[in-house]
């Protein structure tokens, strides 16, 4: 199952987006109506002022002049009053719409953050903070395709903590968890930014090393030396076994992982009779 297929909380997201678009269109209509009325009022006032200025043409004692000026003034005052009331009403509507839009944007942001958290939970292993097997499978396929396309190298390194069960039995599972977290943190510091370290389950870790030769693999392993954790007042040392395999063009991800796992098994067999310091 690829990360693109991970189910996300989509309940209400499309409806929320439609509501936000609807409110934005409503605000746009309010703005256009206010602009239109402002133009109408400006033209009306211009016409009224022009009409009043006609006093120089008409005889001030003419009854028609007094009637026309009175009606013009009343009409102008009435229009300004109506526009003012309508503007207040539109401003109130805009305020309500903006408030609803702000609430919807806040909800949409929370839903987006929730979706990101679900996605992160689906790709990140919670104990160590490294990516998990599902994410590693997608990345491995992508890196294999890139290596074949660019004719570059790709190395897969598998690591297994030695005698983790013994540490759990003697010091408790909290000590075992601390061992895994410590190794994960050291792995994250030992690799390059283009590399990827994941926990594939239990005490097993997988590292993808694109464009990496065997000398660089050894350098990564050397940076993982002197591993220990502190439980209560005691330092507990632990070791690991490692096996690696280089990508061969045309092989599948399963074949590559199997060769790395076989190399890890051989390494563990070679170390089987070696004492693992747990003190």
- Choose the final residue of a domain: 74, 95, 123: 123
- Burial category of 177 from C-beta neighbours within 10 Å (exposed 0-12, middle 13-18, buried 19 and up): middle
Q: Is position 278 within any domain?
A: no
Q: What are phi and psi of 193, to 5 degrees?
A: -65, -25
Length of the chain: 279
203, 213, 255, 262: which is the annotated catalytic residue?
203
Residue 214 sits in the same domain as residue 165: yes
Q: Is position 276 within any domain?
A: no
Residue 180: count other Cβ atoms within 10 Å of its Cβ: 21
Q: Is position 279 within any domain?
A: no
Q: What is the DSSP letter of 275?
A: -
Q: What is the DSSP letter of 72?
A: H
Residue 48 sits in the same domain as residue 110: yes
* Pairwise CA distance, residues 141 & 156, whole Å: 12
pLDDT(220) > 80: yes
Residue 57 sits in the same domain as residue 157: no
**Lowest-confidence region among 4-18, 191-205, 241-255:** 4-18
Percentage above 70 pLDDT, the chain: 61
Q: Is 52 helix (H, G, I), strand (E, B) or coil?
A: helix
* Pairwise CA distance, residues 240 & 159, whole Å: 7
Q: Where are the alpha helices (DSSP H) in 151-213?
A: 164-171, 173-190
Sign of CA dihedral 199, 200, 201, 205: negative
For the question of residue 203 being annotated catalytic, the response is: yes
Q: Is 278 helix (H, G, I), strand (E, B) or coil?
A: coil
- Choose the final residue of a domain: 73, 93, 123: 123
Mean pLDDT of 45-71: 57
Residue 177 sits in the same domain as residue 238: yes
Residue 144 sits in the same domain as residue 261: yes
Number of domains in the chain: 2
- Choose the final residue of a domain: 89, 123, 157: 123
CATH number, position 171:
3.30.70.270
User: What domain range is 65 assigned to?
Assistant: 3-123
- pTM of the predicted structure, to 2 decimals: 0.58
pLDDT(122) > 90: no
Q: Is position 220 within any domain?
A: yes
């Amino acid at each position: 199952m690829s990360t693109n297929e991970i189910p996300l909380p989509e309940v209400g997201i499309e409806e929320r987006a439609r509501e936000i678009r609807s409110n934005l269109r409503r605000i746009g209509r309010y703005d256009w109506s206010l602009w239109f009325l402002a133009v109408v009022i400006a033209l009306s006032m211009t016409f009224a002022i022009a009409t009043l200025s006609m006093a120089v043409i008409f005889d001030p004692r003419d009854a028609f002049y007094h009637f026309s000026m009175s009606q013009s003034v009343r009409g102008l005052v009435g229009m300004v009053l109506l526009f003012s009331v309508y503007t207040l009403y539109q401003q109130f509507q805009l305020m309500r719409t903006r408030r609803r839009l702000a609430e919807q944007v806040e909800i949409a942001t929370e839903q987006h953050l929730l979706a990101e958290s679900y996605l992160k939970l689906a790709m990140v292993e919670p104990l160590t903070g490294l990516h998990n097997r599902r994410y590693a499978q997608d990345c491995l396929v992508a890196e294999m395709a890139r290596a074949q396309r660019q004719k570059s190298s790709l190395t897969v390194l598998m690591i297994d903590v030695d005698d983790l069960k013994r540490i759990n039995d003697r010091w408790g599972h909290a000590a075992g968890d601390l061992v895994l977290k410590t190794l994960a943190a050291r792995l994250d510091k030992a690799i390059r930014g283009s590399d990827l370290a994941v926990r594939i389950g239990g005490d097993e870790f997988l590292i993808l090393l694109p464009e990496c030769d065997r000398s660089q693999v050894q350098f990564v392993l050397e940076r993982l030396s002197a591993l220990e954790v502190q439980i209560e007042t005691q330092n507990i040392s632990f070791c690991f076994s490692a096996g690696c395999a280089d990508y061969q063009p045309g092989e599948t991800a399963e074949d590559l992982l199997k060769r790395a796992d076989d190399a890890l098994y051989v390494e563990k067999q070679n170390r089987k009779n070696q004492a693992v310091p747990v003190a």
